[in-house]
Structure 1
Amino acid sequence: MSTPLDKKQVPFDDSSGKRDHLPALHPKWLEKMVFVAYTLPPTDITDRGQYEQWLERLKFIAEDLHWLLQLPHDKFWCQAVFNESLLTLLDTYLRFSPRSYDVIYDLPNDGRERHLEVHRLVFMTCVRMATHKESKDDHITPNVFGDILYENFIFDVPKLLDLCVLYGNGNGALLTKMITNIFTQQPKYADDLRATIPTIIQVLENTQDMCGVTSSFAPEKLAKARSKDPRLFTMTIKEFQDVIFYLADTAITISNFLDVYPPAAHIFHEFKFEQRLASFYEGIVPEIQAALKVREFETMSHKRLLKQKLHQSRKSLQKIFHTILGHTCIEPVLEKGGEEVAENIEDFLHTMSAVLGERRFLADYESRYSFQEYADIMCQTSCDIDETQVQYIHDAINSAFATFGKRKKPKGAMSAGGRTSPDGSPGPLEEGAMGGAGALGGGAGAMGGGCAMGGGAGALGAGAMGEADGESMDDYSGQGYRGDVYQTEDYDVQGACAPRPSIIEIDSLISSVKDLLPELGEGFIEVLLEEFGYNLEQAINAVLTDKLPPSLLDMDKFMERETFEDVSSSLVDQRANVFDNDQFDIFRKENVDMNRIHQGKRADDTSLDDKSTVKQLKATYDAYGSRDQASMYDNLPDYEYDDEYDDTYDTNNIGAQDEDSAEELTARRPFVVPRALQTARGPKREEVESEESDDEKPARDEFVQDPAKIHEIAEQKRSGTHRGSGIRQQHDVVGKQKGHGQEKDVIKNRKFKEKNKAARGNHNRRAGADRKRGRGMMAI
């Protein structure tokens, strides 16, 4: 096996001519080369002197890096270890280079291409520095490689953070191998990260203090509520902008670092960083939102830029919380399963319980990451889970979302469904270098980062990150490298598939664009808005950055809007009716046949004379045996239909089978004299009914009574048993004992008594008193 670079000895002749040997990594073998430090592009592009000077600096940097990458393995590492100007160049570029998520410089094409070349070469240099084995012959002992990186400050934690934010979007897989190899070969970097996290926490607290918001993690929280002051509303616009830029740069940097190197989530979790992050979010984000709505800016584009930056900050802070929880609590549950994950589940529930007081954060977090998904994963394990605690957390999150939450809008793809890119080409937010919003500078990056412009890089075609890979690093041509595209941070926007707004909303959008770009025609603005799914920010951004879709490049920018005549001139025209556009709609039709409109029955209406349908029913009634019913329609008389005639019961065959005789009419029910027409001497109703119940015929009223009966009645009067003109009958209602059955007469008597009991006793005292009073028998 070949000798590693750290053990190689190179022979040479000293000044006395003697043969001697020196290590391959020695300052003696360093070729004299001074690398130029990187500087930001000039803010005033129109100043040709400064601009040409900056282009010349980029040219020198590109030439020097090309020369460096072409050096052999031993010569390259001599430059990397002993040439301080090279480390200065890399450090200045990583600190000050514009970021991929925030473009503030609109460079000409020559400056953009040259900067992209430097961007690509810096990444290749860092890849080669992070590789300890380029080939079988060119390699370094792993543990020595880690010491070389650490002792010579070739990489440190701030540089790794800047690498992630600059190149993480386009070259995440390769960057993950790089950083993983660095942390694997030198464990001291993990200790440095642990020492860096308290500094990051202090950065967040300083940001809160700058905004006048006291941290909720402060000990005084138990004694008093979180204090606030109007500092965000009174500070200058530049200070307010720096706060938002600083917050966005810090949040996106940490988020990208955790995406590139997931094991770092465990180190952040040791410091309960996610809990402090939720508290920080709850304290500062709502305050910045409120101040952003109230404060006035010189231009609307400035305000929209700050809104975009704040949105990126919120999204990145939520993603950090989600990533830490996912790698420390959720992924072990999915990978291990069984009883081994009880500690992870308990840790997850404890973390969520600790942030239940941060209701605004929970509402925003729930809109992107559902707690129910976490609960479903935990319930699928065999561990005993405190369902009461899970339900309590779920209810608290739902309550917070109901108060402060907002559902995420459906996302529309800019490359689908529109006229711009039917072939799936990238949309305006994804294409072109330095695609972004605004022309405002400023904003320092956390941990040494800068702001604006920047790009993603694609996968390098070569490069092994360890001995096991064994791939060659000889090819540095950049095959597959995405250095020509500066990617922007993905954020929620409505794409071309968004529903079309109303005419009033379109007029408002056109007016907003017209205020910023008065030289554009309203017709061009309308087509532009339609092209970008009526997204105002994207449409204005495309015009300002000169990145119009291909379908609009040849269109006249001064085209006026087509005007349409408003047909809704009255409330009648705006009505919605089921009879719209029918043959009698006089509001929408000019030619209506007035001959078909009449009042009442038409004299020439012969539609009722047609009895063919009625006669066809005869066969149907014959089939079901209803001959008599059908016979009604056989010989219908010809008559003129009368609208006033009530024919509701014409089809009922009433009395058709009766013979109108008096005896048959009274056969079902005997005639009873109404109570109001009965005389005092007439028979009482109950006596008649009693006689009917006994099936006895009434006695004939004889003109001359039998003397024997007269004497009998007189005797009964004297004994007090006489009532009226007859003998009071006794009706048996007692009957036999219960369970021995009852006779038919007893049952009838009981029914009669129940029915007529109100006619006797004390039930009619009021009616009797009224009757006497009416006859004048009582004094008033």
Structure 2
Amino acid sequence: MVCKVDFQNPEGLPLHELHFLIKENGVQLKVPALNNRWVKPRCYTKFHGIPLENGKLSNQVLIDEWLHEAEWFCKDLEQLLGLEHFRFWSTLVYDPKSVELIISFLQEAIPHYIPVNSICCDDNVVSLYTKILDKVLKILCRMITNKESETEWIRKQDLGKMLYSKFIISVPMMFDIIVAYGRSNINVLTKIIQTIFKIEPKYNEDLKLGLKFLKNAFKTIQGKIENEGREEGTDLPTLFDDLALYSLDCAITVCLLLETYPEARRFCSDLNMDLCIAHFYDTGIPLLYKNISLIDNTSKSIGILNSTRMELLKAFRHIVYMDIDNIIMKPSESLIPAEHFIAILTECLSERTFVVDYQKYFPIGSDIEILQQACKELDLFKVDFVLRAYTSESQSYFVESPEKYSLVDESIEDYSGEPSEIIQVVNNEDFPRKRNITEEVNQVLDLLPHLGDGFIHRVLDRYNSPESAVTAILEGNLPPDLADADQTEVYIPPDIRDQIYLETGNQRLNIYDGDKYDIMTQDNPECIIKTGKGFPGQPKTAKQLLDDKSYVREMKSRYQEYSLVEEDKEYEDEYDDSYEALADSETKSKKMASANNVIADEVDDDESEGELVESKTETDKQTQRDKSRDFCENPADIRARYEARRNMFLQKRPAASETKNVAGSTKGQGQDKSVLANRRKKEANKSSRANHNRKSGASWKRSRGMIPS
């Protein structure tokens, strides 16, 4: 039972703070303005799509039935739209069927890119559908309106929370609104979408998931196209027509969303939606063109594909232009967005068809000029490369293809024209492309290692790609000659000598036939041609080799750089006997010096300067002795000389009592500085001797066999 109350709000309170006084069973109650008591029970009629068959209205019985249900649906909309402010919101919050009423229409509505007049010639159907379309839009506008009058209003934060938490409006619902109303209502759509995201920022997180779904939808469509309807029982014309329509639906959703809510460009950029669009444009659209054209060259789906192309180009333009807007707004921070803009255009260069079409509709010259003016630090090499790549169209930057294969038709501005005005389908097989057969064979062997490489070569000669070859092998759909061939056949590469024989008529058997060293086929071979022994310029005989004194001149010029050769001296190639005697004397002097060095190394490092001088004097005297007849110096003399030096060192060394006096004088009389120093030295070094190194000493003796193990 719906309570009746006279709406009064003299204080102008918002909906969530407003209460009404009612009497129920003689008891006066205070009821909030947003309450299920104000909901009037009603059986709402869901909207069903216009009955169409092959794009046209079906029989009259179904049309009459639809008109009857649509009338009731229209009355439900009028009833919902005519409710008072508090009853309207109480119905949306506490009666989920009222929201389902709106959702049912948005899901079954005819997309805006298909005019109702083109599929329906019944004036009653067209007028009633237009009326419903208008009333649903009014309800949507009322949903986002927080203030209808001075006494009927809701706070924006309460409105956003209510729409989000009660699932009155969702991101999928926004997508349906975009498809249903389109560009003819772009101003209203912009107001609706921006208001929703403004009053409730939580919708942004849901929008990221929605955009991710659309990105995966493009991949799914491409997978279906590449599969070519191989599922059993698939109706190919219907399948490809549905895929074309679905592609346009997704493309328009993305494009219009970016137009109505520019903040979504940042989410698309984070998801790499721009690269996904470019890839789908370059691979999915041409393949869909090809499949539809092979079935029916006059199909209306070709016109739908041209609409899809335009929407994809516009969507890509909206995403990448975000960087240009950031540069214009903040020129001082233009380096990062400028580099990001150049990076996106560079990554899209591999999508040949997309590059040609994008440049024709959105020339990047003006964008590059903005970048260069705002950002002086930008790498001009990258900028010049991107600009030349996009403006070169079918030049040598990419796989060259005739202009007739471009998907762009300059006459396509209103892309809802007749199929006869649409360009012909791109056939990928007509593109001249260089194939790497060895790489393709390896790809097939990775999947089917039991096959022979010779058999795979024969199969790849019949098919354009390894994917189609593998598919044909797995499905057993090979031509009869390949089906009967030996699948373990080994590939024998062609002999290059056979090709040379066919070209020149000369049959030769040489390992260098045909390569860069072949003097028979190369005018300038990369090798040295010699006809006799040795190399060109080398001596022919032994006499010439001995008479060749060129190395003398080379050494002379080298030593002249160090002033070791005089110009007026001539080289004498005669044997000099005096040189041998000089060499012998130098050898003996070296032996004596080395013996003295060995003795000097044995002396302790603590020898004084006087001892070193004396040792040097003795060494000089010893060197002057004539010991040419001795094989080596007498060991007794060496020991005597060493003992004399040691005794001299010990005599000059201070006594142990002097150096190690730690007792000092009587206590109380003061101590000498040397005593204090000896005490500190003893304290610091006492751990290195006596009882503190027994273990290390025993280990040292044991390692040398002095102590039995």
- TM-score bracket for this pair, using the shorter chain length: 0.5 to 0.7
Kept in 2: contact 1:146–1:186 (CA 8 A)? yes
1:335 aligned onto 2:315: no
Q: CA deviation at 1:245?
A: 1.3
Q: Residue 24 of structure 2 corresponds to which residue in structure 1?
A: 14
CA, structure 1 residues 388+230, in 2 after alignment: closer, same or farther (shift >3 Å)? farther
Q: Residue 375 of structure 1 corresponds to which residue in structure 2?
A: 368
Q: What is the CA deviation profile of residues 171-219 of structure 1, one whole-angstrom value per residue up to 9, with x for unaligned ones?
A: 2122211111110111110000112222222211111211227xxxxxx
CA, structure 1 residues 345+229, in 2 after alignment: closer, same or farther (shift >3 Å)? farther
Q: What is the CA deviation profile of residues 293-348 of structure 1, one whole-angstrom value per residue up to 9, with x for unaligned ones?
A: 3x133xx6xx341110110111111111001111x2111222232x2222211111
Aligned partner (choices 341, 344, 352) of residue 337 of structure 2: 344
Aligned partner (choices 200, 209, 219) of residue 195 of structure 1: 209
1:3 aligned onto 2:2: no
Q: Residue 267 of structure 2 corresponds to which residue in structure 1?
A: 267
Q: Residue 48 of structure 1 corresponds to which residue in structure 2?
A: 60
CA, structure 1 residues 110+323, in 2 after alignment: closer, same or farther (shift >3 Å)? same
Kept in 1: contact 2:334–2:375 (CA 8 A)? no
* Residues matched between the structures, number: 400
AA in 1 matched with 2:28: R
Q: What is the CA deviation profile of residues 94-130 of structure 1, one whole-angstrom value per residue up to 9, with x for unaligned ones?
A: 1110012124632401111111100100110111011
AA in 1 matched with 2:324: I
1:362 aligned onto 2:355: yes
Residues 593-604 of structure 1 correspond to what in structure 2 (within 5 A)?
none
Aligned partner (choices 71, 76, 80) of residue 64 of structure 1: 76
Q: Return the structure number with greater helix share.
A: 2
SS of the residue aligned with 1:167?
A: helix
Kept in 1: contact 2:359–2:390 (CA 8 A)? yes
Kept in 2: contact 1:165–1:257 (CA 8 A)? no
Kept in 2: contact 1:131–1:178 (CA 8 A)? no
Aligned partner (choices 197, 214, 236) of residue 183 of structure 1: 197
1:83 aligned onto 2:92: no
Q: Distance in 1 between matches of 2:142 and 2:394?
A: 48
Normalised by the size of structure 2, how large is the TM-score? 0.53
Residues 433-444 of structure 1 correspond to what in structure 2 (within 5 A)?
none
Aligned partner (choices 146, 156, 159) of residue 142 of structure 1: 156
Kept in 2: contact 1:172–1:260 (CA 8 A)? yes
Aligned partner (choices 315, 326, 333) of residue 310 of structure 2: 315
Residues 275-424 of structure 1 correspond to what in structure 2 (within 5 A)?
275-293=275-293, 295-297=294-296, 303-326=298-321, 328-337=322-331, 339-402=332-395, 403=400, 406=406
SS of the residue aligned with 1:122?
A: helix
Residues 512-661 of structure 1 correspond to what in structure 2 (within 5 A)?
none
Q: Distance in 1 between matches of 2:385 and 2:24?
A: 79
CA, structure 1 residues 231+291, in 2 after alignment: closer, same or farther (shift >3 Å)? farther
CA, structure 1 residues 20+231, in 2 after alignment: closer, same or farther (shift >3 Å)? closer
Q: CA deviation at 1:290?
A: 2.4
CA, structure 1 residues 255+413, in 2 after alignment: closer, same or farther (shift >3 Å)? closer
Q: Residue 499 of structure 2 corresponds to which residue in structure 1?
A: none
Q: Residue 597 of structure 1 corresponds to which residue in structure 2?
A: none
Q: Larger deviation: 61-70 or 154-163?
A: 61-70
Q: CA deviation at 1:235?
A: 6.5
Q: Distance in 2 between matches of 1:49 and 1:437?
A: 31
Q: CA deviation at 1:280?
A: 2.0
SS of the residue aligned with 1:39?
A: coil
Q: Distance in 1 between matches of 2:369 and 2:422?
A: 29
Q: Distance in 2 between matches of 1:106 and 1:235?
A: 25
Q: CA deviation at 1:392?
A: 1.0
Q: Distance in 1 between matches of 2:186 and 2:30?
A: 42
Q: Distance in 2 between matches of 1:120 and 1:241?
A: 29
Q: Residue 40 of structure 2 corresponds to which residue in structure 1?
A: 31
Q: Residue 180 of structure 2 corresponds to which residue in structure 1?
A: 166
SS of the residue aligned with 2:280?
A: helix
Kept in 1: contact 2:171–2:203 (CA 8 A)? yes
Q: Give ranges in structure 1 of 5+ residues lacking alignment.
A: 214-227, 415-428, 430-434, 439-490, 495-780
Normalised by the size of structure 1, how large is the TM-score? 0.48
Q: Distance in 2 between matches of 1:38 and 1:437?
A: 31
Q: CA deviation at 1:273?
A: 1.0
SS of the residue aligned with 1:111?
A: helix
Kept in 2: contact 1:367–1:407 (CA 8 A)? no
Kept in 2: contact 1:360–1:400 (CA 8 A)? no
CA, structure 1 residues 151+407, in 2 after alignment: closer, same or farther (shift >3 Å)? closer
AA in 2 matched with 1:170: S
Q: Distance in 2 between matches of 1:205 and 1:101?
A: 23
Q: What is the CA deviation profile of residues 603-624 of structure 1, one whole-angstrom value per residue up to 9, with x for unaligned ones?
A: xxxxxxxxxxxxxxxxxxxxxx
CA, structure 1 residues 25+348, in 2 after alignment: closer, same or farther (shift >3 Å)? same
Q: CA deviation at 1:61?
A: 1.6
Kept in 2: contact 1:4–1:138 (CA 8 A)? yes
SS of the residue aligned with 1:12?
A: strand
CA, structure 1 residues 309+171, in 2 after alignment: closer, same or farther (shift >3 Å)? same
Kept in 2: contact 1:133–1:139 (CA 8 A)? yes
Kept in 1: contact 2:163–2:169 (CA 8 A)? yes
Residues 411-490 of structure 1 correspond to what in structure 2 (within 5 A)?
none
Q: What is the CA deviation profile of residues 263-292 of structure 1, one whole-angstrom value per residue up to 9, with x for unaligned ones?
A: 111111111110122122222112122223
CA, structure 1 residues 207+409, in 2 after alignment: closer, same or farther (shift >3 Å)? closer
AA in 1 matched with 2:85: H
AA in 2 matched with 1:7: E
Q: What is the CA deviation profile of residues 336-393 of structure 1, one whole-angstrom value per residue up to 9, with x for unaligned ones?
A: 32x2222211111111122121111111111111111210111221432111001111
AA in 2 matched with 1:372: G
Q: What is the CA deviation profile of residues 196-250 of structure 1, one whole-angstrom value per residue up to 9, with x for unaligned ones?
A: 222222211111211227xxxxxxxxxxxxxx99999x97111121111111111
Q: Distance in 1 between matches of 2:231 and 2:307?
A: 23
Kept in 1: contact 2:240–2:292 (CA 8 A)? no
Kept in 2: contact 1:39–1:93 (CA 8 A)? yes
Q: Residue 670 of structure 2 corresponds to which residue in structure 1?
A: none
Q: What is the CA deviation profile of residues 399-442 of structure 1, one whole-angstrom value per residue up to 9, with x for unaligned ones?
A: 4444466596666999xxxxxxxxxxxxxx9xxxxx9879xxxx
AA in 1 matched with 2:357: D
AA in 2 matched with 1:342: L
Kept in 2: contact 1:212–1:230 (CA 8 A)? no
Kept in 2: contact 1:40–1:96 (CA 8 A)? yes
Kept in 1: contact 2:237–2:292 (CA 8 A)? no
Q: Which has the higher contact order (CA 8 A, sep 6+)?
A: 1
Kept in 1: contact 2:248–2:305 (CA 8 A)? yes
Over the residues paired in the alignment, what is the CA RMSD in angstroms?
2.9
Q: Percent identity?
A: 23
Residues 225-236 of structure 1 correspond to what in structure 2 (within 5 A)?
236=236
SS of the residue aligned with 1:34?
A: coil
